[in-house]
Structure 1
């Protein structure tokens, strides 16, 4: 065999880690707990020691002052998947970060970020001009069971290559993204927001009074499930263009009265599934657009 994959490792001794990498030089997937990470940070090893590692799992950092081991990441320059779970971090990336550029380079290689069962997590990172651009290559973002999460990302965060956004059971989340961040989601194909009891809108108002056109160029599927506080996708008068959207599902969102206040375009919309929603008020635009789509199909069929 030319490659090996380790799903879980229980020893907390640095020597075990070093020997393990010598035995399995093509190791691609590593599971670390708090003591393991500390041991690895103290170890001395060649710069290219972990060059083949693609998946890093960080779990069980249970401490009142637990901090995400950001200094560990530069050891894995080829890492593409970062999975963090069952820990007490308050933030993923610290506000005061030494060597921001070095860490930003490592973060820029991450394609898949999954955060699960982080009850103390309040934000991924606070507003920082360099870190706001650090996850530009991220393709998949999964956030679930993070009950203290206040907002998904700072107002100027950009996710230009994000294709899949999945947020579930984040009870403290009020608004998902700002209009600035929304404008960066040109590659997003699936957005799924479920079981977030405090969410009032998906695209939040930044309070600058500017009404922009926001284009979700590749979004095909939009799922909004069990969001009892949701009143709209966006309450501001931004215009929204969904040129690729084919399916919208809104389930158990009893407070949702309309989709958006601005102009709305969904030329390819095929399916609108609504349950426990004021259908007559869910932006009659949605229903009108469905009618328009049928008319367009009929017209193209007859021509």
Structure 2
């Protein structure tokens, strides 16, 4: 460790420090609260968890040129806007290392780039409605064993959320690419509009994977799925209550919904699954070339409306690989008549 004078302050250079983990420190207020200026030339990992009183990292300046994000129990927060200055980051984001959002806590999602948690077990809503406009940098959501969680995104029209109740508001989550949910037992909705005139849009979402979410009855509504213009992979497994993937909307007219990028669809071990969509909607899946339907004994049809899958040649079922001739809906009905169980 070296020191030298800089404007009557000590300069401290941590030459070899690459990783710092601060965990379960209930009285920690900062890494160092003196006036020293710190420089961490190699620090690339900073993990902070269960430090409820942490308000700043160092009282003096602290530079971390190789540190791109801070990891907490909730996920990863980017440092792009702070140019390696972690004090400015912690002062705007913390306390965020031990508790979830409450009415008495100021908590920012502005720099959140990844939600990856198994510990959001005490909340029913992961992202409150008044935080939706802050999710401009969010890239990934990965949830596991969040036992009480009922919805990922809360979408309601409230003045304090920044939405106008008199007109439809589209809220874009522009950088979200991946959603993975596993064993979120009480989950009922990914996002629900509550007739609020607020629509979420995910223009770059490419992958959705949902496994063993026992309470989930559907994945999207028709208005949601039509906005997933980049969705490529959709995999659903072991969700016993799911009846449809796309829920029809009340009083909806027959219209064409295109999932223009969807290539892979896997539906496995869905004991209540009846069909992809059972409403009047028509679907075009122009790039779908991989379809797996296994252990779905309740399926009756893929869609009730018109269905176009020009690239789909083979379907992987519980009873083997089969050519889809001439049409997916016809294939399902024919195999059921023949006594096959999907």
Q: After alignment, is 45-54 or 132-141 more displaced? A: 45-54
Runs of at least 5 residues in structure 1 that lack an aligned partner in the other structure:
61-65, 291-303
Distance of aligned partners of 1:125 and 1:44 in 2 relative to their CA distance in 1, 3 Å threshold: same
Aligned to 1:153: 191
Cα contact 1:92–1:124 (8 A) shared by 2: yes
Report if the CA contact (8 A) 2:31-2:58 is conserved.
no
Q: How does 1:93-242 map to 2 (within 5 A)?
A: 93-95=127-129, 97=130, 100=131, 104-105=133-134, 107-128=135-156, 133-155=171-193, 156-242=199-285
Partner-residue secondary structure (3-state), 1:250: strand
Distance in 2, matches of 1:48 and 1:217, equals 47
TM-score scaled by structure 1?
Answer: 0.74
Q: 1:73 offset after TM fit, Å?
A: 3.6
Alpha-carbon contact 1:265-1:289 (below 8 Å) kept: no
Secondary structure class of the residue paired with 2:213: coil
Q: Distance in 2 between matches of 1:180 and 1:26?
A: 47
Matches of 1:138 and 1:58, distance apart in 2: 19
Aligned-pair CA distance for 1:182: 0.2
SS at match of 2:127: coil
Confirm whether residue 275 of structure 1 aligns to residue 318 of structure 2: yes
Does the 8 Å CA contact 1:190/1:220 hold for their aligned counterparts? yes
How many residue pairs get aligned? The number is 269
Q: CA deviation at 1:174?
A: 0.7
User: For 2:31, what is the secondary structure of its paired residue?
Assistant: helix
Write 1 or 2 for the structure with the bigger share of strand: 2
CA offset digits 1:105-161 (Å, max 9, x no partner) = 3x1101111111110001123223659625232000111111111111124332221
> What is the CA RMSD across the aligned residues, in angstroms?
3.8
Whole-Å separation in 2 of the counterparts to 1:58 and 1:240? 40
Is this contact kept in 2: 1:267–1:289, CA < 8 A? no
1:84 partnered with 2:117: yes
- TM-score of the aligned structures, taking structure 2 as reference length: 0.67
CA change 1:72–1:158 in 2 (3 A) is: same
2:53 is matched with 39
Q: Whose Rg is larger?
A: 2
Tell me, which stretches of 5 or more residues in structure 2 are unaligned?
1-14, 76-98, 158-162, 164-168, 194-198, 333-342
Indicate yes or no: 2:327 matched with 1:285: yes
1:15 corresponds in structure 2 to 30
